[in-house]
């Protein structure tokens, strides 16, 4: 029973107005194609959760999809400010809920493991814990000390991009694995996008690399180049030039809207987007292979 469907169908069936969405990936494997599809389908009032909102949420906020963001680092990584989310926050037009990285990831860890909350060692800084009432403390029953805790985060839908998956959604990731596994297990529904759809036998040939089992996945979509301008380790490079260019585009609302018109509303899907990027960009992002030494699972 294949779960393989087009990304447009997966978004239509799994992302609803008002949902808490977690589009996963720490710099790596960010599912831009899915974000763009959500924009095209005009979803509204979403709560967008990510440790690093990155350009994908800047674009979704610019397109009017979001009511609220939940984050731990709101910047354009390596470049500076995440201009649109930032200006919406400063103007009071966007709600936000903020954690440190470990607080954010601990919320997902609790959600993914079925726990009500997650304890952390104290950081003592205090101001963020005072500003965000979801930070609480409990008494460690063993030492009697106060321990900070954060509540489980259970997104309505997680969107995860992977290098390869089979048609049932058994998915393998390598390179920076960020919070993909945690987001998938924490969420009610999971949309998987993959660079390659492979036979189940390929997955079974290297089971240690499977981070997400198919039985928690609702939809599998074959979307090559899904993460551009983010990257997919071993498939294509991060488009740092675009991250720098976005800093200029996003500083001007007309330029931002014309970007969305041309590159999101103006294309039907990721394939058309990738073709539109052109050979020069494609060549710039191409990488040389660097294979790992094989491992031997043995015959038993």
Partner 1 sequence: MTDTPYTSSELLTINAARLLRNGDKVFVGVGLPNLACNLARRTHAPNLLMIYEAGVIGAQPARLPLSIGDPTLVSGALAVCSMYDIFAFYLQRGNVDVGFMGGAQIDRFGNINATVIGDYQHPKVRLPGSGGSMEIAAWANRCYLLTPHSKRRFPEKLDFRTSAGFLSGKAERSAAGLRGGGMLAVVTDLGVLEPDENGELTLVALHPGATVEQARQNTGWPLQVAAELRTTAAPSPEELRILRQDLDPEGIYLKGGA
Whose Cβ is closer to partner 1: residue 10's or residue 84's? 84
Q: What are the counts of helices (DSSP H) followed by strands (DSSP E) for the chain?
A: 11, 14
Stretch that binds partner 1, among 14-22, 84-92, 267-275, 276-284 (CB under 8 A): 84-92
Interface with partner 1, residue 238, by CB under 8 A: yes
Find the largest Cα–Cα distance for the chain: 63
Query: What's the token pair of residue 20?
Result: 């808490």
Neighbouring C-alpha atoms within 13 Å toward the C-beta of 127: 0
Query: What's the token pair of residue 37?
Result: 């599809």
Interface with partner 1, residue 182, by CB under 8 A: yes
CA dihedral sign, ordered 19, 54, 88, 248:
negative
Stretch that binds partner 1, among 13-21, 34-42, 237-245, 252-260 (CB under 8 A): 237-245
Distance CA 201, CA 193 (A): 19
Interface with partner 1, residue 296, by CB under 8 A: no
Interface with partner 1, residue 138, by CB under 8 A: no
Q: Are 228 and 277 in contact (CB under 8 A)?
A: yes
How many degrees, rounded to 5, is the angle at CA 161 between CA 38 and CA 235? 125
Binding to partner 1 by CB under 8 A, coded x per residue (else -) over 35-54, reads ----------------xx--
Interface with partner 1, residue 72, by CB under 8 A: yes
Residues that bind partner 1 (CB under 8 A): 26-28, 51-52, 71-75, 77-79, 81-82, 86, 89-90, 92, 98-103, 105-106, 108-109, 120-128, 131, 145, 174-179, 181-182, 231, 233, 237-238, 240, 243, 287, 290
């Amino acid at each position: 029973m294949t779960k393989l469907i087009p990304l447009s169908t997966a978004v239509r069936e799994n992302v609803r107005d008002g949902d808490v969405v977690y589009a996963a990936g720490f710099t790596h494997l960010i599912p831009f194609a899915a974000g763009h599809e959500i924009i095209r389908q005009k979803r509204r009032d979403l709560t967008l959760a990510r440790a690093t909102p990155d350009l994908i949420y800047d674009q979704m906020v610019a397109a009017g999809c979001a009511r609220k963001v939940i984050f731990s680092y709101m910047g354009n990584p390596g470049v500076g400010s995440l201009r649109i989310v930032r200006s919406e926050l400063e103007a009071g037009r966007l709600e936000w809920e903020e954690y440190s990285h470990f607080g954010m990831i601990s919320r997902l860890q609790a959600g993914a493991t079925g726990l009500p909350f997650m304890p952390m060692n104290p950081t003592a800084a205090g101001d963020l814990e005072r500003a965000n009432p979801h930070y609480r403390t409990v008494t460690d029953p063993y030492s009697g000390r106060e321990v900070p805790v954060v509540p489980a985060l259970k997104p309505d839908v997680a969107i995860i991009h992977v290098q390869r998956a089979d048609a049932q959604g058994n998915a393998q990731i390598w390179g920076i694995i960020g919070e993909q596994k945690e987001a998938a297990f924490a969420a009610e529904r999971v949309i998987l996008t993959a660079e390659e759809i492979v036979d189940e036998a390929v997955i079974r040939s290297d089971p240690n690399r499977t981070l997400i089992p198919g039985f928690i996945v609702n939809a599998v979509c074959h979307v090559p180049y899904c993460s551009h301008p983010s990257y997919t380790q071993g498939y294509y490079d991060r488009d740092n030039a675009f991250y720098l260019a976005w800093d200029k585009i996003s500083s001007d609302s007309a330029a931002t809207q014309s970007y969305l018109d041309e590159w999101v509303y103006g294309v039907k899907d990721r394939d058309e987007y990738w073709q539109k990027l052109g050979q020069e960009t494609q060549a710039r992002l191409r990488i040389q292979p660097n294979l790992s030494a094989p491992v031997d699972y043995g015959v038993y």
